[in-house]
Amino acid sequence: MYKGIAGSDGVGIGEVVIIKEPELKYERASALTVEKELERFNKAIEELVEKTNAMSEEVRKSAGEAEAEILLGHVMIMSDPALSDEVRSLISDGLTAEAAAEQVLDMFAAIYEGTGDELTMQRATDIRDVKTRLIKALLGAEDVDISALKKGSVIVVHDLTPSMTAGIVKENIEGIITETGGKTSHSAILARALEIPAVLSIDNITELLKNGQSVIVDGIGGEVIPDPDDKCISEYRAKREEHIKHKRELLKLIGCETHTADGIHAELVCNIGKPADCKDVLERDGEGVGLFRTEFLYMDTDRLPTEDQQFEAYRAAAAAMDGKPVIIRTLDVGGDKEIPYLGLEKEDNPFLGYRAVRYCLKNPELYRAQLRALIRASAFGNIKIMAPLVTCVDEIRAVKALVKELMAELESEGIDFDRNIEVGVMIETPAAAVIADLLAAEADFFSIGTNDLTGYTMAVDRGNHKVAYLYSVYNPAVLRSIKRVIECGVDAGIMVGMCGEAASDPLLIPLLISFGLNEYSVSPTSVLATRAEILKWSKSEADKVAEEALSCTTESEVKDVLSKYKK
Ligand code: PEP
Ligand code: MG
């Protein structure tokens, strides 16, 4: 059995089909004139853009809008003048178009890869996908076509690229196994959209399995079982049936209100990265947006987005959600989230450095543009503004002062906006948790970012495998912190939400109910499962679990208690 990351849930039983990209061989020095070589490059780009636009249309039909956007992102990379100018310049120095494209795209990919952040690193995968396809187009090599795979196939591949996915006939594919990628990688997003079970990130799996071998893909437990015997197959068939039944049951919760078993109301909203994701939120019955990560607006271009461009994006999200709350986080740059054109200096400790609200307050022109766009968009829906990585009261005061000043400016320009727009604080540092009482007096709401709060509280760099065992929200230090933040917010009468991954963790839900969390912000795919969990618990039952969990002294004791009570 091989263990990987559970990328897309469900159980698939089928036959291995190993997909390998052909080796692409080419000369470095061009034997052609520079003009001829440039012509080859221009033609290849033109054809690739056309083909990718067509693929994106196919994916829109087979998987959905957000998945089609991934391929449109590839068109943007192909059409990016910063990239093509570099390639042309290397061609002018005598390189073949293939060698020039490889050098430039690898360089850009390396910048994104260096960040260590999964979402940013995803862009590196996109750039490398574009690189391979561009070189193939130049060499006249065929794209891998997986549309012809027969029923019952399990795709085993180094990385499932968006361009490969365009050809998938979902009825024929039992499962996907990859050597790279995590829960938020494009391979995972695409597999989930197609509802194909997937296990990701198993080293060397394309060598370990053989074509035609029988295999089980358990996308729930993140396991791959080669050559299963009859007993194992019937066990997993039962697991598959159970899963399908559970999903069908969850669908019944569409349209239901989210509350505890004894009727305490909770808001169940979603985390998004772009306005187009609102469609997923509504389809999955999310009750609003609890975190719109605006970094993507800044990452998807090679220069700062203008105030008007941002306004359009925020307005689109607010309008799509039609009066439901949309919490938009201001730019969370730095640390693991790098934006190359901002030219941030390398720092020894980027996670403790010049980032997020710190950077924004020191770059008022950039921050003013974003805040003006947000305030203007508030006229079109229920927008709330949230500041990331706050560590002291001065920061939230400064953000609020700027918002007030910009409101006066917009007023004098005769521009309409919501005069009661709320400004909240993201609680994701130990400092913010410790002074949660002071922050609660200034902020209109809290949202707990458990991804960072866990890392900063435990002083753990998530990218460092040697200390990864400490990165757990079940540590008493993190739980006490969460409890304190919620209690301070509740005491001050403000809304307290949670937008880190922990908000959809079924083990934690009784604790969050007991502490009094008002809002859960989860990925659209987790909405119904989270609603089902909240519905199971009454406050008094949850209190009992919380009391026992908080009396534990170690992380593993906490986990044992929570698992013992899991319903
Ligand atoms: C968090 O830190 O929990 C969070 C939601 O923000 P991000 O994952 O974008 O850092
Ligand atoms: Mg964070």
Which pLDDT does position 461 carry in this prediction?
A: 81
Task: Pick the atom of ligand 1 nearest to 428's CA.
Answer: 2
Task: Pick the atom of ligand 1 nearest to 295's CA.
Answer: 9
Which pLDDT does position 116 carry in this prediction?
A: 56
Give yes or no for residue 118 having a pLDDT over 70: no
Residue 287 CA to residue 330 CA, distance in Å, equals 21
- Averaged pLDDT of the chain: 92
Residue 427 Cα, ligand 2 centroid: separation in angstroms? Answer: 9
Clarify whether 158 is annotated catalytic.
no
| H or E stretch covering 14 | strand 11-19
- Output the residue whose Cα is nearest ligand 1's atom 8: 451
Instruction: Single out the catalytic residue among 74, 186, 360, 488.
Output: 186
**Residue 500 CB less than 6 A away from ligand 1:** yes
Residue 258, Cβ neighbours under 10 Å: how many? 21
The answer to whether 44 and 36 have CB atoms below 8 angstroms apart is no
Task: Pick the atom of ligand 1 nearest to 451's CA.
Answer: 3
Give yes or no for residue 463 having a pLDDT over 70: no
295 is in an annotated binding site: no
- State the ligand closest to the CA atom of 448: 1
Q: Which residues contact 497 (CB under 8 A, 6 or more apart)?
A: 267, 269, 290, 327, 445, 446, 447, 448, 503, 517, 518, 519, 520, 521
Site to probe by mutation for ligand 1, drawn from 499, 520, 526 as the one with most ligand atoms within 8 Å of Cβ, is 499
Give 102-147 as a DSSP string: HHHHHHHHHHHHTT--HHHHHHHHHHHHHHHHHHHHHHTPPPP--T
Q: Hey, what are 382's tokens?
A: 């229920």
Question: Nearest to residue 513, comparing CAs of 477, 469, 453, 567?
Answer: 567
Let me know if 298 is exposed, middle or buried by CB neighbors in 10 A (0-12, 13-18, 19+): buried
Helix, strand, coil percentages for the chain (3-state, nearest 5): 55, 15, 30
Q: Hey, what are 190's tokens?
A: 């695409």
Helix H segments across 170-259? 186-194, 205-208, 230-251
- Comparing 349 with 463, the larger pLDDT belongs to 349
Rounded to whole angstroms, the maximal C-alpha distance in the chain is 79
Q: Provide the residue type at 24 as one letter.
A: L
**Residue 293 CB less than 6 A away from ligand 1:** yes
- Output the residue whose Cα is nearest ligand 1's atom 3: 449
Clarify whether 465 is annotated catalytic.
no
Let me know if 153 is exposed, middle or buried by CB neighbors in 10 A (0-12, 13-18, 19+): buried
pTM of the model: 0.78
Residue 456 CA to residue 436 CA, distance in Å, equals 16
pLDDT in tens, 390-421: 999 999 999 999 999 999 999 999 999 999 99
Question: Nearest to residue 194, comparing CAs of 186, 204, 202, 203?
Answer: 186
- Enter the DSSP assignment of 546: H
| H or E stretch covering 308 | helix 307-321
Q: In degrees rounded to 5, what are phi and psi of residue 310?
A: -65, -45
Res. 457 pLDDT band, cuts 50 70 90: very high
pLDDT in tens, 196-229: 999 999 999 999 999 999 999 999 999 999 999 9
Q: Hey, what are 358's tokens?
A: 């710190």
Compute CA distances 526 → 48, 271, 318, 487, 499, whole Å. Answer: 35, 10, 21, 25, 12
pLDDT in tens, 427-437: 999 999 999 99
| H or E stretch covering 17 | strand 11-19
Instruction: Single out the catalytic residue among 278, 360, 488, 499.
Output: 499
Residue 201 CA to residue 125 CA, distance in Å, equals 14
Residue 194 Cα, ligand 2 centroid: separation in angstroms? Answer: 29
428 is in an annotated binding site: yes
pLDDT in tens, 335-383: 767 787 888 888 889 889 999 999 999 999 999 999 999 999 999 999 9
Residue 565 CA to residue 543 CA, distance in Å, equals 12
All residues with CB under 5 Å from ion ligand 2: 428, 449, 452
Which pLDDT does position 114 carry in this prediction?
A: 65
- Comparing 187 with 243, the larger pLDDT belongs to 243
Which pLDDT does position 283 carry in this prediction?
A: 93
Q: Which residues contact 364 (CB under 8 A, 6 or more apart)?
A: 402
Polymer length in residues for the chain? 567
- Output the residue whose Cα is nearest ligand 1's atom 7: 451
pLDDT in tens, 251-309: 999 999 999 999 999 999 999 988 988 998 999 999 999 999 998 888 777 789 999 99
pLDDT in tens, 519-559: 999 988 899 999 999 999 999 999 999 999 999 999 999 99
Question: Nearest to residue 272, comparing CAs of 324, 200, 198, 327?
Answer: 327
Residue 484 CA to residue 551 CA, distance in Å, equals 15
pLDDT in tens, 435-451: 999 999 999 999 999 99
Detail the DSSP E strand segments found in 231-363: 267-272, 289-293, 325-329
